[in-house]
């Protein structure tokens, strides 16, 4: 058993999904679900060249830890959440969430929950560089983090 049930990382390095999976695996946790958020080459019909991520690092880390803790109190799981910053080429991971659980149901549920939560409260922004321009992605009307306080 690892000493901690969760691990959170924010890094400019390429993500290593197998390392996250390893953290979330144990003899007790026979089901592992690993989510890879991978940079796509298009948004609607626009051709995307690369994505760039920026974070308020100390707060983003704190919010990711809150989500991981919340997941561990809701389900009997191990969880690793890794988020990439800086420039991310098409086809590379920007987010990896690995969840290990004794049963597959809770692993799927927890993994799905984490991705929704990450997009609600964690101060990490994405800039899309496309042919002919760049734009910060964010939905002003949908961003109400105070309505999504944990607890």
Partner 1 sequence: MKEVTVLYFASYREQAGVMAEKINITSDNTNLGELIKHICTIHPKIVAEPDKIVAAINEEYQEHNHVLKNGDTVALIPPVSGGSHDY
Q: Which stretch binds partner 1 (CB under 8 A): 12-20, 22-30, 49-57, 73-81?
A: 49-57
Task: Round to whole Å and give the CA distance between 9 and 60.
Answer: 10
Residue 87: its H or E element: strand 86-89
Smaller CB separation from partner 1, 13 or 134: 134
For residues 62 and 10, is the Cβ–Cβ distance under 8 A? no
Q: Does 129 bind partner 1 (CB under 8 A)?
A: no
Smaller CB separation from partner 1, 27 or 141: 141
Q: Does 143 bind partner 1 (CB under 8 A)?
A: yes
- Exposed / middle / buried, residue 66 (Cβ in 10 Å: 0-12, 13-18, 19+): middle
Residues in the chain: 151
Smallest gap, in angstroms, from Cβ of residue 85 to partner 1?
Answer: 12
Q: Does 2 bind partner 1 (CB under 8 A)?
A: no
Q: 88: which strand partners?
A: 51
Q: Which stretch binds partner 1 (CB under 8 A): 15-23, 48-56, 82-90, 101-109?
A: 48-56
Task: Round to whole Å and give the CA distance between 74 and 72.
Answer: 6
Which residues of the chain form contacts with partner 1 (CB under 8 A)? 35, 37, 40, 43, 54-56, 58-59, 62, 95, 115, 119-127, 136-146, 149
């Amino acid at each position: 058993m690892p000493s901690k049930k969760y691990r959170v990382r924010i890094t400019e390095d390429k993500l290593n999904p197998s390392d996250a999976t390893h953290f979330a695996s144990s003899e007790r946790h026979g089901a592992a679900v690993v989510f890879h958020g991978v940079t796509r080459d298009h948004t609607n019909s626009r051709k995307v060249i690369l994505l760039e991520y920026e974070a308020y690092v100390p707060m983003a880390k704190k919010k990711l830890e809150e989500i991981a803790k919340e997941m561990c109190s809701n389900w009997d799981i191990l969880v690793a959440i890794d988020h990439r910053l800086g420039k991310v080429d098409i086809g590379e991971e920007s987010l990896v969430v690995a969840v290990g659980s004794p049963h597959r149901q809770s692993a799927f549920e927890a993994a799905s929950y984490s991705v929704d939560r990450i997009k609600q409260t964690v101060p990490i922004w994405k800039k899309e560089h496309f042919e002919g321009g760049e734009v910060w992605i964010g939905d002003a009307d949908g961003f109400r983090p105070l309505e999504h306080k944990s607890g």
